Structure 1
Amino acid sequence: MRRKLAAGNWKMNGLSAALDELAAMGPAADGKAEVLICPPATLVAPAAALGLPLAIGGQDCHAKDAGAHTGDISAAMLKDAGATYVILGHSERRADHDEHDEHVREKCRAAWDAGLAAVVCVGETLSEREAQNTLDIIAGQLAGSLPDGATGHNLVVAYEPVWAIGTGKVPDVDQIGEVHDFIRARLEKRFGEGVGRSVRLLYGGSVKPGNAAEIFAVSNVDGALVGGASLRADDFLPIIEALNASAD
């Protein structure tokens, strides 16, 4: 059985005082679902040092182990700081930093080499959705972004339709289910049925306490990658509780 996963992406938010919110989330991390928080890089080490029963991750890593890459952070550095996961290929990285599938693939390989699990993001834009190209876009991103060697331990795939991130717009449950079922089938075809079934699939894009339970009831949705609603315990805890309930 795949363990459900509630992952929070804090993006470029959070100073030291935000660790109080993280501490408030700690008790909920003892439930059936795994809880992961990906704070900004400045907070990875202090967050891990809290010793809470939740995982800490980075939001990106460089494809190289070390070198003359000012401002970047390597997977080995994240691991050394206490991270066990890293988000890769988020649409904001793809758009703002011109990251392409091949860049994500190299970063994913680096993450695995460092002992980190990669949360690889895929998703279509609104124009691609309206042109009915969603599944073609997802297929291409999966093929290009994932290296060989995936397992249920080192890979999580997050489907985040770009047009739903931070907009309040959410695909209907049939649309979410169609994409998640498609991703599952693609993973099984490429990596084998056992691995394909073991990789957790998250939905991301305007997940909130009010819609979480409905989303978690969808086929092949194993949890969520949550942005703004993960910044405060009062918002994230109900989402974790909904995920725990869906695991019963």
Structure 2
Amino acid sequence: MARKFVVGGNWKMNGDKKQINEIIGFLKSGPLNQDTEVVVGVPAIYLELVRTCVPASIGVAAQNCYKVPKGAFTGEISPAMIKDVGADWVILGHSERRQIFGESDELIAEKVCHALESGLKVIACIGETLEEREAGKTEEVVFRQTKAIAAKVNDWSNVVIAYEPVWAIGTGKTATPQQAQDVHKALRQWICENIDAKVGNSIRIQYGGSVTAANCKELASQPDIDGFLVGGASLKPEFVNIVNAKQ
């Protein structure tokens, strides 16, 4: 089954109006591979600005949301609000949310469920720490994180999974193409066996962790890597090269 390559740019807590205009400039200049789906993950305060400025072919994602439509949750945003300003994606479960802000597997699963029910598409992030990898627990961790989401999700058609080894995020270290492929393959097999074979074969699994223009083509050549979730490089013109990794 052919899976459409999907590249997300997670700007994290970066950017002001000037820098955002520069990013939009190189996205418009491209050219971007039309066979690759592109999504940019934008700080909440700039979601509407970016949605009105980027080409309609580029998806716009919030970087987080809460698990209910509204209420007394100071500082949070809801899927309903994200949709109201025209954005159509949300990134959930990023390692920084898990590690820095203490979000549990259960909370992330509840967020994914509510976002999907609200009509958003979701990039759901999973991944192990360096300690977990060195202890041989990579598969145990990513399977556990995926299982929690699977307990809340029935329809996977609007879910992209992003495998992001925590030890490779923002460190300059990258999993080798073979290391990344091994985890993607094992995860796909787990989904086939524990959720549904059709879901396992159709779901897109991105790799995230210090992806750059220099390493993207080799990573993209792996059979179970269906795209990237890009951090720092998504703020730079080289993001165009990463989007075009399959060309």
> Is the TM-score greater than 0.5?
yes
Secondary structure, counterpart of 1:46 in structure 2: helix
Question: Which of residues 36, 40, 51 is equivalent to 2:39?
Answer: 36
After superposition, where does 1:8-157 map in structure 2 within 5 Å? 8-17=9-18, 18-26=20-28, 27-29=30-32, 31-52=34-55, 53-146=57-150, 147-151=152-156, 153-157=157-161
Cα shift at 1:144: 1.2
The Cα offsets for residues 114-169 of structure 1, whole Å up to 9 and x where unpaired, read as 11111111101001111111111111111013323132x31000000000000111
Cα shift at 1:19: 2.8
- The 1-side partners of 2:144 and 2:96 are apart by 18
- With the length of structure 2 as denominator, give the TM-score of the two structures: 0.94
Cα shift at 1:199: 1.0
Cα shift at 1:173: 1.9
- With the length of structure 1 as denominator, give the TM-score of the two structures: 0.94
Moved more, 201-210 or 14-23: 14-23
Secondary structure, counterpart of 2:31 in structure 1: helix
Q: Is the 8 A contact 2:32 2:244 kept in 1?
A: no
Secondary structure, counterpart of 1:242 in structure 2: coil
RMSD (CA atoms): 1.3
What residue in structure 2 maps to residue 227 of structure 1? 231
Amino acid at match of 1:161: P
More helix by share: 1
Amino acid at match of 2:193: K
Q: Is the 8 A contact 2:60 2:87 kept in 1?
A: yes
Is 1:166 aligned with 2:178?
no
Q: Is the 8 A contact 1:150 1:191 kept in 2?
A: no
Identity of aligned residues (%): 39
Give the gaps of 5 or more residues in structure 2.
Answer: none
The Cα offsets for residues 86-139 of structure 1, whole Å up to 9 and x where unpaired, read as 100000000111101000001001110111111111101001111111111111
Is 1:240 aligned with 2:243?
yes
